[in-house]
Amino acid sequence: MWLSRPLVLAPRRRGLHLITGEIQVTLPELRKVHCGLLHVFIEHTSAGLTINENADRDVPWDLGQVLDTLVPEDFPYRHTCEGPDDMPAHVKASLVGCSLSIPVAEGRLRLGTWQGIFLCEFRDRASERRLMLTLQGDSHAG
C-alpha cells in the first residue's frame, strides 16, 4: 500500500504543539498496515516537526524557550521584510527539520511510550500549516 494525503493544521500560536492524534485521524489506513513507514513533511520554511516527550507539558515549553534563546530576534538579520519573528523562524526550522519518518507496525505508529509528534510553530501569527503524509507498507493478511 502506498498513499499520500494532505493534512491542514489550524493556525496555532508560537510553540510546540502535539499533533499525533490529528495525523492518526487523517490516516485511518494506519490500522491496516502490518509493517510500514509514515513520512510526515511540512510544506513551510518557518515551522518544523519533531518527535519528543508528550507526557509533560513543560518539555515542549522548555524546548521552545531554548530555541528562542539560541536564535534571538534581535540578531542583525538582513531578511526583515516579513517582521522580526520571520528570519528567526527560518533558522529554527532549519535546525529542527521539515520531515519525520516513523515506523508503523501492527496497525499503529511505533512511537516510544512517551513520544509524540509535534508541530514547531516559530511565528507569532502564523497561518494554517500544511503537511503531506505519505504512508507505505504491507497490509494485514486476510
pTM confidence score: 0.95
Q: Does domain 2-139 have CATH number 2.60.120.460?
A: yes
pLDDT band for position 80 (cuts 50, 70, 90)? very high
Say yes or no to pLDDT of 142 above 70: no
Q: Which pLDDT belongs to residue 59?
A: 97
Position 118 confidence tier, pLDDT thresholds 50, 70, 90: very high
Domain ranges of the chain: 2-139
DSSP string, 50-111: EEEE-S-THHHHHHHHHHHHHS-TTS--S--TT-TTHHHHHHHHHHH-SEEEEEEETTEE--
Cβ-count burial 92-110 (b if 16+ within 10 Å, e if not): bbeebebebebebeeeebe
Helix-, strand-, coil-residue percentages of the chain, each rounded to 5: 25, 40, 35
Task: Name the pLDDT band for 141 (thresholds 50, 70, 90).
Answer: low
